[in-house]
Amino acid sequence: MHLLHVEGSPRKQRSASIDVAQSFIEAWKARHLGSTVDTLDVWTTDLPAFDGDALDAKYAGLTGQTRTPAQERAWDGIRALAERFHRADVIVFSVPMWNFGIPYRLKHLIDAVSQKDVLFSFDERGLIGLLGGRKAVVVAARGVALGPDYPAQDFDFQGAYMRTWCKMVGIDACHIVLVEKTLFGPEADAESRAAARDAAVVLAAGL
């Protein structure tokens, strides 16, 4: 068994999403002895710019044209990054909420690797995800809690985006662990993290 941990938070030791994700990962490793973990930190990974040769490589593939050597090199970099998703049985995302959505570096990663014949394909039937059979866990951290003024069904672009991406690439099992009110003082932060860690450990026992 192999797990990919995509770190979307730049706060590291202070990060609530990474804290809870690590609890899940340790519990999952204890259940799957001999398993391996690959950590993809979006803040230290050299993510490919999706313009120039990479963009031209995309449209060359879509139109059936032969890619130039420069385009092929750019596409090789995208495929290599995407291969880390293909190798995983479980994909864990540490995702803080930024302006009701996800951090721009995590969006950059997703935009780079989510390409036709890389993580999905399509035909007259619609989108066909290429990561079928895998499971995803999204640890979604929020400084506040969505509520009456911003109901989750209308304003949760954090969890909804990640669930939509999972569906697009063929991952039907997408589990979300929430960590809320982390900006309401040390006690509220600790209480929220503890509850989320407990939920993550319970989830790990079933995956």
pLDDT band (50, 70, 90) for residue 84: very high
Residue 113: strand, helix, or coil = helix
Average pLDDT over the chain, rounded to an integer = 97
Residue indicated by tokens 């929220």 = 192
Can you give the residue ranges of every domain in the chain? 2-205
Question: If 0-12 CB within 10 Å is exposed, 13-18 middle and 19+ buried, where does residue 90 land?
Answer: buried
- Among 106, 119, 115, residue whose Cα is nearest residue 158: 106
pLDDT digits 0-9 by tens, 132-182: 999 999 999 999 999 999 999 999 999 999 999 999 999 999 999 999 999
CATH number, domain 2-205 = 3.40.50.360
Q: Is 74:53 a contact under the CB 8 Å cutoff? A: yes
In one-letter notation, the amino acid at residue 102 is I
- pLDDT per position as a tens digit, 35-78: 999 999 999 999 999 999 999 999 999 999 999 999 999 999 99
Determine contact, residues 11/96, Cβ cutoff 8 Å. Answer: yes
Q: What span, in angstroms and rounded, lies between the C-alpha atoms of 154 and 151?
A: 6
**What is the C-alpha separation between 115 and 121, in angstroms, rounded?**
8
Per-residue pLDDT, 198? 98
pLDDT value of position 104: 98
pLDDT value for 170: 98
Q: Give the containing element (helix H, strand E) for 80.
A: helix 69-86
- The pLDDT of residue 70 is 97
- The pLDDT value recorded for residue 129 is 97
The model carries a pTM of: 0.96
Phi, psi of 94 (to 5 degrees): -95, 115
Amino acid at residue number 16 = A
Within the chain, what is the greatest distance between any pair of CA atoms? 59
CA distance 58 to 20: 36
Check residue 14 and report its DSSP letter: G
DSSP for 118-133, written as a single string: TTEEEETTEEEES-TT
* pLDDT the model gives residue 64: 94
